[in-house]
């Protein structure tokens, strides 16, 4: 197990990591570099995350960071989730996604809204050996998340779910699905309800796996619901209040996306700097030319600025303070910044930068989704704008 810091007590200053957090970050970084890095290219090419590494993520406690100890977790903080996602994403963003979705979306929702019986039944599994998925998106509901067509009809002690979900991260490995469907479509978003669906339930099927540009080792699949019977006891929160769970969970999830983007940017930037120190042209390393130095210096500054935005949002969340605007700022800025960083890394490498042999090529492919999922850049600007003019 990787040691975690207690989430109790006053939050440290923004830029400060306490000793436990520094140790935690160092351990995750070591794991990423020593255990994940050797398989990054293979996993990307085959679009499959190694089961052995997934087991290690569980064994190290990285799939249940905030889960209470009595439910098999680490009883850590949300901030530690951010640190873990950043460090993993600096090596392989697909590993970062797996840990991010499990912690900031699925576990987070269980901890906040599940009944005690639901927690006893599911949290130990999520913390120790079963992947969780967050199933909100559909073909017709992206930014307009509540224009969903999936329905849930009452039938005695069950709800019968029908519909189709798309772009569900980690679904190929998933066993427990936090899935949203509408119990009263005429009521619009006020009919949206969150259900806990197990992979083994009749009428539930994981469908086509997407062939993606980036994050290829993190599976993204459709889910098919054809008369899927879900026990009434598996409603998460209140019937018709699923929209509240979705909105609030995604606000926290956006901080996790920010951490992913910092990690990708840092990985791309580090690779570019290392290359600039050894690549020679005109009798000197290219890093000795200001034309190479200055863009990389600017990028280092923007990476640090993004890190402070993300860390600040995570600290506010742990302290129980308002953070919605800060989360939107962190997600927006970090995703824009990371795309620039990955592009600059390609240019620093020159012609080799667009080949599969170059690490920058993968960072460049992985980064694009950051401005799209869990709220597009325009949606983040809307959130920030509403705060400015409220």
Distance (Å, rounded) from C-alpha 238 to C-alpha 262?
Answer: 35
Catalytic positions, written as ranges:
374
In this structure, the dihedral spanned by the alpha carbons of residues 356, 362, 363 and 364, taken in order and rounded to 10 degrees, is 80
Q: Which residues contact 254 (CB under 8 A, 6 or more apart)?
A: 327, 328, 330, 331, 374, 375, 380
Which uninterrupted H or E stretch holds 114? none
Number of helices and strands in the chain (H, E): 12, 10
Report the alpha-carbon distance of residue 94 to residue 216 in Å, rounded. 7
Contacts of 157 (CB under 8 A, 6+ apart): 231, 232, 233
């Amino acid at each position: 197990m990787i040691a975690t810091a207690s989430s109790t007590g006053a939050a440290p200053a923004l830029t400060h990591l306490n000793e436990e957090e520094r140790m935690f970050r160092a351990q995750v970084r070591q794991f990423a570099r020593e255990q994940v890095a050797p398989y990054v290219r293979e996993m990307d090419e085959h679009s499959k995350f190694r089961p052995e590494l997934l087991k290690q993520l569980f064994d190290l406690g990285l799939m249940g960071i905030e889960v209470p100890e009595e439910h098999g977790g680490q009883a850590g903080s949300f901030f530690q989730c951010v640190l873990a996602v950043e460090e993993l994403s600096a090596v392989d963003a697909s590993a970062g996604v797996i840990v991010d979705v499990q912690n900031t979306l699925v576990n987070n929702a269980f901890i906040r809204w599940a009944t005690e019986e639901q927690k006893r039944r599911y949290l130990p599994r999520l913390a120790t050996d079963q992947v969780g998925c967050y199933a909100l998106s559909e073909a017709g509901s992206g930014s307009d998340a509540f224009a969903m067509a999936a329905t849930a009809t009452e039938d005695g002690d069950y709800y019968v779910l029908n519909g189709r979900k798309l772009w569900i991260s980690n679904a190929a490995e998933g066993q427990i699905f936090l899935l949203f469907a509408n119990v009263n479509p005429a009521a619009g978003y006020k009919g949206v309800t969150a259900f806990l669906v197990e992979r083994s339930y009749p009428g539930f099927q994981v469908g086509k796996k997407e062939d993606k540009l980036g994050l290829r080792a993190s599976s993204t699949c459709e889910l098919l619901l054809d008369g899927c019977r879900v026990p009434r006891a598996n409603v998460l929160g209140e019937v018709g209040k699923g929209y509240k769970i979705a909105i609030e969970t995604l606000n926290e999830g956006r901080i996790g996306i920010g951490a992913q983007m910092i990690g990708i940017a840092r990985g791309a930037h580090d690779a570019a700097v290392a290359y600039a120190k050894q690549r020679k042209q005109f009798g000197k390393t290219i890093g000795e030319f200001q034309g190479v130095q200055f863009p990389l210096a600017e990028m280092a500054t923007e990476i640090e600025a993004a890190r402070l935005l993300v860390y600040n949002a995570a600290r506010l969340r742990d302290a129980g303070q308002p953070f919605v605007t800060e989360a939107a700022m962190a997600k927006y800025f970090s995703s824009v910044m990371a795309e620039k960083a990955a592009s600059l890394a390609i240019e620093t490498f020159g012609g080799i930068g667009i080949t599969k042999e170059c690490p920058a090529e993968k960072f460049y492919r992985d980064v694009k989704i950051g401005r799209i999922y869990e709220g597009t850049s325009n949606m983040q600007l809307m959130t920030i704008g509403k705060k400015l003019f409220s």
